[in-house]
Chain A
C-alpha cells in the first residue's frame, strides 16, 4: 500500500470569487492515490467533490484561485501553464463525466470520436486507431464492437454511451482515471455492469482511479480507500471497511445512518437526519466545518480539530463520532418507530383492472402500461420499482389523472376514475394527490409558499377565508418542520429539501386518501432524503392515507413500503409484501435488481447477477415474456412465444414466470435484503 503515490495532493485550497464575496470551495485538501489503487470520494452536493476534480485538471473558471500542491508522479500540476497541462490531460490523467450523452458529440460517429483520441495522443494512423478502438470496446464487453463504431451516440443506450466514454478515457492509456459520478444517471442494473467493468479494467490496465460519488454503496463497489468530504474539506480518509464499521468523524457516522440500507425498515427505525444544510463557506471561517450541524460538538472540539491518524491508515479530522459525553440521538430515535401490530385495515381503496396506456401514433405506439392489475388497501404503502421506462411513472400519472388510460379500469373508493382530471369530481381530485420528483419544477417559482399551499385549500376544500387558510397552512408547515416565516418565501429561497417538504405539505394540506409519490427523493442528497422519508412515514401514520411510492431505489422502497411491486416494460413481474419480495425474491428480474443494488455496508455480498443489454423496444408487440432477452434463467423457447403464467407463492405473493413454481421456491440464487429483525445502526 505504501508504494510511490501516483497522485498526491497537499494542502489544496480553491476559492471562487463572486460578485459580492469570496466562497471557499476547497480547504487544505490532502490526499494520495497509489499505483493501481482506487480512491472513492463521497459527500453531499456542495461539498467540493467536483471542484477537486476540476482543480486537478485545471478546469476551474477564471473567477477562482488555487493554491497548494498537486503532485502527479512528482510533478506539480499547480505550477504548470495551461499549455503544459495539455500533456497531462487525457494522456496521463483521463476523465469520465456524469452525463455520457452530453460528453459525446451527437453529429460524429462513435468510431470517429474514439479514433480521434489515439490519433491525437499517440499519433496513430486512422486504421490503427480504428483497430485500437475496436479492441478497447471489446475489453468493455460491448458485443458487436465493429458495428458500434459505425453508429451515432443517440443510436445506443445510456449505459453503452457511458462505456464509450470509459473506452475513450482508456484509449489514452492513462495512469490515473477520474470518474465524476459516472453512473448516477443510469439504472441500477446498468450501473452494476459498469462498476464491474471499471474494477476489472483497473487491474488489467494497472491504473489508479479516483471515483467521485454521492452514494457510499457505489463507491464501496470500486474503491479500496474512501475519502469523505464535507464543505470543501476531507474530514475522514481510510479503508472502506473501517470507514463503514468504525467511522470516526461525526459527519461520516451521521451520513451513513441517513441512508436507507439493508436491515433498516420503517417498522424498526427512523432514519437519522442531519439538521441544517450544507452552507457556503466564507474565507473568514476557521475550525471544524461541520460544527454547526454536529450533534457531538462540545467546548473542546474546536481546539482538538485536525487530521490525525486515529488507527493505522485511517485518518480523521475528529474522533467524536462515538463520544459518550453527549447521548446518541441516532439510538434514541429508534424508539419512535412504528409500533408493532398496527395492521393495515383491509379496506380496498384503489383497484386497477387490466390497465393499458399507449403513447404515440399507430405503428409507433409505445406500450407504457401493458395490462396491469393491482389492489391497494387503505393505510398501506405500495412501493413500485423498476428500471426507467418500465411504466412506473405512467402508472402513477394515470392514477392521479394526468393522463387517461387507453384501456382498463381504475376504481377508487367505488368510483370509476379511468378518465382524465377534467372529468373527475372535485372529491376525487382532492382525495388523490401527487408528489413530483423535482420540487424545483413542481412548485411555481412565482408564488409564495402560502399561495402554493393555500390554493388547493381554496380550490378543493372551498375554504374562502384567508385567515382560516393561513392558520391551517401554519399548522401543516409545522408538521413538515418548516416555520411560520416560510409563508412569505418563494421556492427559490428554499433548499432542495425544504422545497420538497413544502411540496409534501401542499399534498397533505387537503387530507388526501391516496398519495402518489413519483420518485420524491431521488433528486435529493442522502441527509435530505432521510428527512423527507421520515416525514412521509410520519404523515402516513397520522393520516392513514395509502401511498403509491414510485422509486428506482430498492433500498428506499424497502425502507418505506408494506407491499412491493416490481415492473418491467409495462407489466408486473412480481408482487408481494415487503418481506416476501425483498427477502426472498422469486422472479429472475427481481433477483437481478436486488443483486445490482449497491450496498452501503461493504461486507454484504449478494449474488452476482448482471443484466446485459437494455429493455427491448417498447414499440414492438411482445408475444412472450418481456424479460426473456435479458433473463439469466430462461427456460426455453416458451419464454419467447407465450406470455408467462401467474405463479402464486402465497396469498399476497405472486410472480409472472415460466419457471415452474417448485424450482422458483427451492432454488433461490440471490440472497434478499437482510432480515428486518436484525436492527442496524452504525
Chain B
C-alpha cells in the first residue's frame, strides 16, 4: 500500500486526475441537497443571465434554469451510468472472454467471431439504433445498451489476460488436483488477471462518459427534463452566440471528467505494470 502512495506522490498528473474526480463524485453525492435551485426550477425574471449575475454562478439558460445546478444534477446520472456500464461490461467481458480463452479451439473461434461481428458496428451507432427503436431511454435501458456495446472490447482484454495466465503451471497443478473448470477460471486465474482488468475498467469508465454524453447530444440519451450534459449542449446550441455559457460549461464538465478519469487510468496502468 505504501508503494502506491509513494508512486502517487511522484505523479502530479495522477494527483490532479484523482482530485478532479473526487470533486465530481462529492458534487454528485452531496451537491443537489446544498443547491439553492432545482434542475427544473425556472427563474422567469432572469433568463439568459451571464455567469455571476443575479445569484446564478454559471448563469441561466433560455428558460431561466440555473446552469450550475443542472450540471451538478447531471453529474449524478452520468457518473452512475458510466460506473455501472464499465462494471457490467467488464463482468460480461470476463465471463465471455474467459470462457473463450479457457476452452480454446472451436469455442474460442465461435465466441471471437460473434465479438468480431459486434465490433464491426461502432458502439455509438449500435447504441443509437437500439435506443432509437426502443424510444424512451431510462437509466436502466441506457446502462444495458451501452454495456452491450462495450462488451466485445472488454471480452478481448479479458481473454488476453487469461491466456497469459493460463500457461502458468499453477493451472496445471489445479487440473491434476481434479478441480472444476469454473474453479480454475474464477478462483485460480481471475485474481491474477486483476491488473489488466482494473486498467480496463478505469479506461472503460472514461469511454462510457463520452458515450453517454454523445448519446445525449444525439438526442437518444436520457429524456428531458432529466438534466444530461450532452443534452444540455444540444438544447442550447442556438444560443451559442447569445449565451455561450449555456454550451461552454456543460462541455467543460464533460471534458474535465473524461480527462480526470484518463489521468487516473494512466496511473493505474502504470502501477499495475510496475507490480508485474
Contact = CB atoms under 8 A, between A and B. Distances in A.
Partners in one complex: yes
B170 A443 contact: yes
B183 to A, nearest CB: 9
Given A19-B3, A444-B192, A446-B192, A459 B177 contact: yes
Contacts of A438: 169
A262 to B, nearest CB: 32
A72 to B, nearest CB: 37
A434 interface: yes
A282 interface: no
A173 to B, nearest CB: 41
B270 interface: no
A473 B188 CA distance: 20
Contacts of B134: none
A442 B177 contact: no
B176 A460 contact: no
B179 interface: yes
A438 B174 CA distance: 15
A263 interface: no
Nearest to A402: B172
Bin chain B's interface residue count. Answer: 10 to 19
A492 to B, nearest CB: 10
B36 interface: no
B178 A442 contact: no
Contacts of B176: 400-402, 421, 429, 432-434
A402 B175 contact: yes
B173 interface: yes
B191 interface: yes
A445 interface: yes
Nearest to A503: B173
Contact of B178 (A424, A433, A434, A437): A424
Nearest to A459: B177
B169 A436 contact: yes
Interface string A414-450: 0000000110101001001110111001111110000
Contacts of A506: 173
B172 to A, nearest CB: 6
A68 interface: no
B contacts with A: majority SS: helix
A456 interface: yes
A33 B163 CA distance: 48
Contacts of B179: 459
B177 A456 contact: yes
A421 B192 contact: no
A443 B171 CA distance: 9
A433 B178 CA distance: 12
Nearest to A436: B169
A436 B3 contact: no
Interface residues of A, number: 27
B6 interface: yes
A421 B175 contact: yes
Interface string B173-198: 11111110000000010011000000
Contacts of A446: 191-192
Contact of A444 (B6, B175, B178, B188): B188
B153 to A, nearest CB: 25
B177 A436 contact: no
A434 B192 contact: no
A460 B178 CA distance: 8
A445 B169 contact: no
B161 to A, nearest CB: 13
B177 A441 contact: no
Interface string B39-53: 000000000000000
A455 B191 contact: no
Contacts of B6: 19-20
Nearest to A456: B177
A contacts with B: majority SS: mixed
B167 to A, nearest CB: 8
Interface string A392-425: 0000000011100000000000000000011010
Contacts of A443: 170
Contacts of B174: 444
A442 B3 contact: no
Contacts of A402: 172, 175-176
A371 B191 CA distance: 41
Contact of B173 (A422, A424, A442): A442
Given A441-B168, A444-B188, A446-B191, A426 B173 contact: no
Contacts of A432: 176
A3 to B, nearest CB: 48
Contacts of B192: 444-446
B202 to A, nearest CB: 20
Nearest to A425: B178
A444 B170 contact: yes
B184 to A, nearest CB: 10
Given A19-B6, A429-B177, A442 B191 contact: no
B98 to A, nearest CB: 15
Contacts of A442: 168-170, 172-173
B57 to A, nearest CB: 43
A501 to B, nearest CB: 15
A659 to B, nearest CB: 40
Contacts of A456: 177
Contacts of B188: 444
B41 to A, nearest CB: 52
A29 B170 CA distance: 41
A328 B178 CA distance: 47
A461 to B, nearest CB: 11
A436 B172 contact: yes
A323 B178 CA distance: 54
Contacts of A437: 169
Given A19-B3, A19-B6, A441 B178 contact: no
Contacts of A444: 168, 170, 174, 188, 191-192
Contacts of B177: 429, 455-456, 459-460
A440 to B, nearest CB: 9
Question: Which residue, B6, B172, B177, B191, has most C-beta atoms of chain A within 10 A?
Answer: B177
Given A424-B178, A426-B178, A459-B179, A441 B3 contact: no
A19 B168 CA distance: 30
B149 to A, nearest CB: 31
A459 B178 contact: yes
Given A445-B192, A446-B192, A421 B170 contact: no
Contact of B169 (A19, A441, A460): A441
Contacts of A401: 175-176
B204 to A, nearest CB: 23
B173 A436 contact: yes
A132 B188 CA distance: 55
A438 B170 CA distance: 10
A441 B169 CA distance: 5
Interface string B62-77: 0000000000000000
Nearest to B172: A402
A459 B175 CA distance: 12
A459 to B, nearest CB: 5
A395 to B, nearest CB: 15
B173 A434 contact: yes
A446 B170 CA distance: 11
A433 B176 CA distance: 8
A198 to B, nearest CB: 34
A424 B177 CA distance: 10
Contacts of B173: 434, 436, 442, 506
B194 to A, nearest CB: 8
Nearest to A424: B178
B9 to A, nearest CB: 10
Nearest to B194: A446
10 contacts: A19-B3, A421-B175, A429-B177, A434-B173, A436-B172, A436-B173, A441-B169, A442-B169, A444-B174, A455-B177
Give the 4 A-B CB pairs with smallest separation, nearest first: A446-B191, A442-B169, A444-B170, A436-B169
Given A402-B172, A442-B168, 7 more contacts: A400-B176, A429-B178, A434-B172, A437-B169, A444-B174, A444-B191, A455-B177
